[in-house]
Structure 1
Amino acid sequence: MSTITTINPATEKALQTYEVMTEKEATDRLEACHAAFLQWRELTHQDRAPYLEKIGQTLRDNADELAALMTNETGKLLTDGQVEIELCAALFDYAAQNGPEMLADEERAQGLNGNRSVVSYQPLGVIYSIQPWNFPLYQPVRVLAANLMAGNGCVLKHASICTGSGLRLRELCIEAGLPEDLFQVIVIDHDTSDKLIAHPKIRGVTLTGSDRAGRHVGAVAAKALKKTVLELGSNDAYLVLEDADIETAVKFSVMGRLYNNGETCVSAKRFIVTDKVYDAFVDAFAAQMNDIIMGDPTDKKSQLGPLSSQDQFDRVKGQVDDSVAKGAQILCGGEAPERKGAYYPATVLADLAPGMPAYDDEIFGPVASIIRARDDEDAMRLANESRYGLGGGIFSRDEERAFKLARDHFDTGMIRINSFGAADPNMPFGGVKDSGYGREHGGFGIKEFVNVKSIFLP
Structure 2
Amino acid sequence: MAIQTINPYNNKEVKSFEEFSAETVEQKIAQADQTYQVWKSVPVKERSKLLMNVASILRERKEELAKLITLEMGKLIAQSEAEIDMCASVYEYYAQNAATFLEDKLIEVKDGKAFVRYTPIGIILAVEPWNYPFNQVARVAAPNIMAGNVIMVKHASNVPQCAQAIEEIFRQAGAKEGIYTNLFLSSQKIAKIAEDSRIVGMSLTGSEKAGSSLAEAAGKNLKKSVLELGGSDPFIVLEDADLDKAVQNAVKGRFGNMGQACTSSKRIIVVEEVADKFLEKFKEKLTGLKIGDPMERDTQVGPLSSEEAAKKIEEQVNETVKAGAKVVLGGKRIAREGAFFEPTILTDIKPGMVAYHEEIFGPVASFYKVKDEKEAIALANDSTFGLGGSVFSQNIDRAIEVASQIETGMIFINEHAASRPDLPFGGTKRSGYGRELSELGIEEFVNKKLIRISDK
* 1:23–1:192 contact (8 Å) kept in structure 2: no
SS in 2 for 1:323: helix
Q: Counterpart in 1 of 2:173?
A: 176
The 1-side partners of 2:427 and 2:174 are apart by 34
Matched, 1:151 2:133: no
* 2:304–2:341 contact (8 Å) kept in structure 1: yes
Match of 1:210 among 201, 204, 207: 207
The alignment's TM-score, normalised by the length of structure 1, stands at 0.97
Q: Counterpart in 2 of 1:424?
A: 420
Q: CA deviation at 1:109?
A: 4.3
Q: Counterpart in 2 of 1:142?
A: 139
Q: CA deviation at 1:110?
A: 3.6
Match of 2:440 among 435, 444, 449: 444
Q: Counterpart in 1 of 2:431?
A: 435
Q: Counterpart in 2 of 1:39?
A: 38
Q: CA deviation at 1:352?
A: 0.2
Deviations 1:111-142 (CA, angstroms, capped at 9, x unpaired): 4xx11223110000000000111011011111
The 2-side partners of 1:104 and 1:194 are apart by 35
Deviations 1:75-126 (CA, angstroms, capped at 9, x unpaired): 0011111111111111111101110011012333444xx1122311000000
Q: Counterpart in 2 of 1:388?
A: 385
* 2:270–2:369 contact (8 Å) kept in structure 1: yes
Superposition pairs of residues 83-94 of structure 1, within 5 angstroms: 83-94=82-93
Q: CA deviation at 1:4?
A: 2.1
Deviations 1:360-381 (CA, angstroms, capped at 9, x unpaired): 1110000000112111110011
Q: Counterpart in 2 of 1:196?
A: 193
SS in 2 for 1:203: strand
SS in 1 for 2:26: helix
Matched, 1:351 2:352: no
User: Taking every aligned residue pair, what percent have the same amino acid on both sides?
Assistant: 39
The 2-side partners of 1:109 and 1:395 are apart by 41
Deviations 1:410-447 (CA, angstroms, capped at 9, x unpaired): 11111121112420111000001010000011111111
Q: 1:251 to 1:197 in 2, by over 3 A?
A: same
* 2:79–2:257 contact (8 Å) kept in structure 1: yes
SS in 2 for 1:444: helix
* 1:34–1:182 contact (8 Å) kept in structure 2: no
| AA matched with 1:155 | M
Deviations 1:41-87 (CA, angstroms, capped at 9, x unpaired): 11111121111111111110110010000000000011111111111
SS in 2 for 1:160: coil
Q: CA deviation at 1:245?
A: 2.0
Matched, 1:77 2:73: no
The 1-side partners of 2:106 and 2:215 are apart by 34
The 2-side partners of 1:350 and 1:292 are apart by 21
Match of 1:267 among 242, 252, 264: 264
Long gaps (5+) in structure 1: none
* 2:270–2:370 contact (8 Å) kept in structure 1: yes
* 1:174–1:180 contact (8 Å) kept in structure 2: yes
Q: CA deviation at 1:290?
A: 2.2
* 1:266–1:391 contact (8 Å) kept in structure 2: yes
Match of 2:286 among 284, 289, 303: 289
Q: Counterpart in 1 of 2:296?
A: 299
Q: 1:399 to 1:109 in 2, by over 3 A?
A: closer
SS in 2 for 1:161: coil
Match of 1:130 among 127, 141, 147: 127
| AA matched with 1:425 | P
The 2-side partners of 1:138 and 1:27 are apart by 27
The 1-side partners of 2:115 and 2:232 are apart by 42
SS in 2 for 1:48: helix
Q: 1:222 to 1:289 in 2, by over 3 A?
A: same
The alignment's TM-score, normalised by the length of structure 2, stands at 0.98
* 2:157–2:186 contact (8 Å) kept in structure 1: no
Matched, 1:311 2:308: yes
The 1-side partners of 2:228 and 2:427 are apart by 7
The 2-side partners of 1:178 and 1:409 are apart by 45
Long gaps (5+) in structure 2: none
